[in-house]
């Protein structure tokens, strides 16, 4: 099951390092912001469910193409890949300018699902599938 969405952001002053560009670590924070935007705003998963379901990262990557600077607003194009025959769910990210003409970075995170107790879930929870089907 694949689907895509967009999340826009503007770097904060504190995101910028001494070189005048966004620090490499911030890209993963923006990836995370985009994921939470998906869960809370697009899928409208309740805080209750979010507190009970954890999605720890088991793998991540970022490829930096162009430097991100303070003044501009950017968009993250996110592709979600959830496959019941795969162990992990994958989020793929592309950071672009608002016109989606210039690519600044690509990356991905891979997640498994656990209960809040840390117990690994053997399958993606049904309520998540049900929400995604409605999009």
Interface residues with another protein (CB under 8 A)? Answer: 58, 84-88, 112, 119-120, 122-123
Of 29 and 82, the one with the shorter C-beta distance to another protein is 82
Report the distance separating Cα 98 and Cα 74, nearest Å.
5
**Residues 6+ positions from 18 with CB-CB distance below 8 Å:** none
The least distance separating another protein from the CB of residue 112, rounded to whole angstroms, comes to 6
Nearest partner of 34 among 12, 26, 15, judged by Cα: 26
As measured in angstroms, the least distance from the Cβ of 108 to another protein is: 16
Minimum gap (Å) between residue 14 Cβ and another protein: 34
**Nearer residue to another protein within complex by CB, 5 or 113:** 113
Query: Which residue matches tokens 């209750």?
Result: 48
């Amino acid at each position: 099951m694949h689907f895509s969405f967009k999340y826009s952001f503007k770097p904060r002053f504190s995101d910028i390092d001494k070189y005048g560009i966004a620090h490499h670590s911030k890209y993963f924070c923006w990836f995370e912001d985009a994921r939470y935007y998906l869960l809370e705003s697009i899928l409208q998963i309740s805080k209750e469910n979010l507190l009970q379901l954890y999605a720890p990262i088991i793998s991540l990557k970022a490829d930096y193409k162009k430097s991100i600077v303070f003044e501009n607003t950017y968009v993250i194009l996110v592709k979600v890949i959830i496959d019941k025959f795969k162990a992990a769910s994958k989020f793929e990210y592309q950071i672009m300018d608002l016109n989606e003409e210039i690519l600044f970075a690509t990356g991905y995170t891979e997640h498994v699902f656990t209960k809040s107790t840390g117990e690994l879930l053997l399958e993606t929870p049904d309520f998540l599938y049900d929400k995604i089907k409605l999009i």
